[in-house]
């Protein structure tokens, strides 16, 4: 009877190989997802070694908006929301159906105008523009328009507001 090591005896050793390069042995692992990474896969970050996937995921959350994107977002929402609010407030209760649509159109125009760049405060700036325009349109339906359209814009712009 020979006591040759079975495959189960070797199993723990296999788990010290890089997840993307099965032939490379490594002691490093990503400190975010725990995946094993070899020296060429590891990315040194201020918080330790990470795998390329986690680094990429992190980078997509970075601010990419330029300063003028905020001006563009504020200007568009001020102008368009001012117009939409003034028009829709005259329609009475129809505003309940049309305000979210107007908010959707306004956010789509803003998204395109800023080249889909991301900014931490873009949705707040857009809502600020809408509120400013709303000051000139103070009426019951004007306020209802503002509440519905602004919440739509906030929800739609969340994807570019990090
Ligand atoms: Zn990772
Ligand atoms: Zn590797």
Ligand nearest to the CA of 53: 1
Residue 156 belongs to what domain range? 67-160
Write down the pTM of the prediction: 0.64
Q: Are residues 80 and 140 in the same domain?
A: yes
Are residues 132 and 116 part of one domain?
yes
Task: Read off the pLDDT of residues 18-70 as tens digits, 9 standing for 90 and up.
Answer: 999 999 999 999 999 999 999 999 998 888 899 998 888 776 667 788 899 99
Contact 142, 89 (CB under 8 A): yes
Compute the Cα dihedral for 150, 154, 157, 160 and give only its sign.
positive
Please tell me the number of the ligand nearest to residue 28's CA.
Answer: 2
My answer on whether 50 and 124 are in the same domain is: no
CA distance 121 to 110: 13
Question: Domain total for the chain?
Answer: 2
Q: 150 and 103 in contact (C-beta within 8 Å)?
A: yes
Q: Model confidence at 15, in pLDDT bands (50, 70, 90)? A: low
Do 52 and 11 lie in one domain? The reply is yes
Instruction: Give me ligand 1 centre to Cα 48, in Å.
Output: 11
Residue 2 lies in a domain: no
> Nearest bound ligand to CA 41?
2
Measured distance CA(43)–CA(97) in Å, rounded:
50
Predicted pLDDT of residue 162: 61
Q: Kindly give the distance from the C-alpha atom of residue 22 to the centroid of ligand 2, in angstroms, as a whole number.
A: 8
Of the chain, the percentage scoring pLDDT greater than 70 comes to 88
Q: Has residue 25 been placed in a domain?
A: yes
Regarding whether 92 and 72 lie in a shared domain, the answer is yes
Per the domain annotation, does 73 fall within a domain?
A: yes
Instruction: Check whether residue 94 and residue 54 sit in a common domain.
Output: no
For 58, the token pair is 């992190």
* Residues 93 and 29 grouped into a single domain: no
For residues 91 and 148, membership in a common domain is answered with: yes
């Amino acid at each position: 009877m020979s006591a040759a090591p079975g495959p189960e005896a070797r199993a723990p050793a296999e788990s010290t190989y890089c997840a993307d390069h099965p032939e490379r042995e490594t002691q490093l692992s990503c400190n975010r997802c725990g995946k094993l990474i070899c020296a060429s896969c590891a990315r040194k970050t201020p918080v330790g070694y990470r795998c390329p996937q986690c680094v990429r995921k992190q980078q997509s959350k970075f601010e990419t908006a330029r300063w003028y994107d905020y001006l563009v977002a504020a200007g568009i929402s001020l102008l368009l929301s001012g117009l939409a609010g003034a028009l829709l407030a005259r329609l009475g209760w129809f505003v309940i159906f049309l305000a979210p649509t107007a908010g959707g159109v306004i956010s789509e125009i803003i998204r395109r105008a800023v080249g889909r760049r991301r900014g931490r405060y873009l949705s707040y700036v857009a809502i600020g523009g809408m509120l400013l325009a709303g000051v000139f349109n103070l009426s019951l339906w004007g306020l209802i328009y503002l509440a519905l359209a602004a919440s739509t814009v906030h929800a739609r712009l969340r994807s570019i507001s990090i």
